[in-house]
Structure 1
Amino acid sequence: MKIVSFDIWSDYAYFRRGYTTTSTISYPFPSRTTIAGIIAGILGYPRDSYYNLFQENNSKIGLKIINPIKNTRINLNYINTKLGMNLSDIEANGKRTQIPAEFIKDAKYRIYVSLNDEDVMNQLYYALHEHKSVYTPYMGISECLANFKLVEDKIHQVQPQIQENININSVVPKNSGNIQIEKGKHYGIVKSPAFFNENRSVSSFLEFFYETKGNSIKLDSCEYYQIGEDNVIMY
């Protein structure tokens, strides 16, 4: 399997949990659908045009937490636009409100991508290698502009491996294997959107274990890929 890996980082990230329209809690790392959107933005795909490219049968994604997850609160200015979008419609008292939202500070992740479409893989590698993007990448919302960098100057060619008592450097899908809890590590679990259908609605979710400081997670046995110095589970 061919894999391209790149780092992406920003001062702040806000991956809002979409349980309700008013949720201000952030996921600790970008969901699979968010990663697909970041890649599509780098390549210049129009909105809603790339979902078939990132389906379960033709793509694999992996993610490594590089910087520890640090949560902070920042107030967001919300505007009541029910009466219109003109400035005169929203200037009156009571039509603006501040909502505290949870952001991730100093967010940095390593993303691993494998697509069945080799032409798109080559386009992605070229864009990362030349540090070019059609649309400006951001971490969740457009106020959180992001930078990115190709990890190694090559496309990795790897095969899956199976090993017992293996340290995994990426986030771990819940069904990958049994975790061996280690002293001094801080674990979390989160469920996030995985795949979109053509109607831009979530067709399935994935649940993950992660280590909040970016440390490895030991599994009793699992299938993984060795990419550089990292042991990665692709999902």
Structure 2
Amino acid sequence: MKSLIFTAKSSFARFRCPHTTTSALTFSTIHPVAVRGLIGAVVGIDYKDLYEYSNDIKIGIQVLNKVYKDTQSFNLIPQVTTNKKSPTFISRIQFLRDVKYRIFLSTGEEKLNQIENILKSKEYVFTPYLGCSEHIAKLEYEKTVDIENIEENYTHTLVPKDYIEFDFDNEFEFYVDRIPTKNNKEREYIEYENIVFSPNNIINIKNKTLFKKVGEYNVFFF
């Protein structure tokens, strides 16, 4: 089994939390569902076929930059105006700033080769972006390597909170969030995971058997 590695970066990103409405918050990092959408865009998969195409892709995510969140106010125009005296309404929207991720993909050989060729040539069918069409993503292919089993007690990637081991003797910066990991054909989130990550750093883990060696990285695949 092999894994394809590439990076995605942008000046801004937004991965909207579905439980927020007029004050739209963002998850602290890109999540597996968003990565599947990103892959579908560059390959050119039709909206109705995206679930079937991407459902078997295993995904690992390494956050490379520190998390910065900005909030901006926008005047939005409602699609249905019930109050003619208020043709617009103010909405505060949260963004991630200066983001960069290392993405690990694992799937069938034919599909992996297809994605690899597109990332290498940069001949994207649709423009890649990070959560919002305004936040264009720059993708850089790194390499494709074999996946190996490991016996090491740390990981470089997002990891479920229950699998980590905190070392209270050493100080390090980490983030905790609850992100969607699976969706259905209607693009509704159906599974969430409480995850922990430390930008461009390692995290100690309890269960070594759940992680894989991908090049020089120890990866948890969702």
Provide closer, same or farther for how the CA distance between residues 22 and 183 of structure 1 changes in structure 2, counting only shifts above 3 A: farther
Provide closer, same or farther for how the CA distance between residues 59 and 179 of structure 1 changes in structure 2, counting only shifts above 3 A: farther
CA distance in 2, matches of 1:52, 1:148: 23
Q: What is the TM-score of this pair, normalised by structure 2?
A: 0.90
Contact 2:23 2:91 in 1 (8 A): no
Provide closer, same or farther for how the CA distance between residues 123 and 186 of structure 1 changes in structure 2, counting only shifts above 3 A: same
Contact 2:26 2:95 in 1 (8 A): yes
Q: Which residue of 2 aligns with 1:60?
A: 58
CA distance in 1, matches of 2:201, 2:37: 26
Provide closer, same or farther for how the CA distance between residues 218 and 121 of structure 1 changes in structure 2, counting only shifts above 3 A: same
State the secondary structure of the residue aligned to 1:148: strand
Written as runs of structure 1 = structure 2, the 5 A alignment for 1:120-135 is 120-135=111-126
Written as runs of structure 1 = structure 2, the 5 A alignment for 1:2-81 is 2-55=2-55, 58-81=56-79
Displacement, 1:49? 1.2
Q: Which residue of 1 aligns with 2:132?
A: 141
Kindly provide the CA deviation profile for residues 60-85 of structure 1, in whole angstroms up to 9, marking residues without a partner as x.
Answer: 1000001111111222332111049x
State the secondary structure of the residue aligned to 2:65: coil
Contact 1:171 1:208 in 2 (8 A): yes
Displacement, 1:54? 3.2
Q: Which residue of 2 aligns with 1:96?
A: 88
Contact 1:17 1:23 in 2 (8 A): no
Identical aligned pairs, as a percentage?
A: 24
Q: Which residue of 2 aligns with 1:160?
A: 149
The size of the alignment, in residue pairs, is 221
Contact 2:23 2:92 in 1 (8 A): no
State the secondary structure of the residue aligned to 2:71: strand
CA distance in 2, matches of 1:12, 1:39: 19
Provide closer, same or farther for how the CA distance between residues 156 and 201 of structure 1 changes in structure 2, counting only shifts above 3 A: same
Displacement, 1:179? 3.6
Kindly provide the CA deviation profile for residues 116-164 of structure 1, in whole angstroms up to 9, marking residues without a partner as x.
Answer: 3x22111100011112211101111111111100012xx211122233x
Alignment RMSD (CA, Å): 2.1
CA distance in 1, matches of 2:191, 2:48: 17
Q: Structure 1: which 5+ runs fail to align?
A: 85-89
Moved over 4 A (4+): none
State the secondary structure of the residue aligned to 1:12: strand
Displacement, 1:112? 0.4
Q: Which residue of 2 aligns with 1:112?
A: 104
Contact 2:28 2:67 in 1 (8 A): yes
**What one-letter code is carried by the residue in structure 2 that aligns with 1:185?**
F
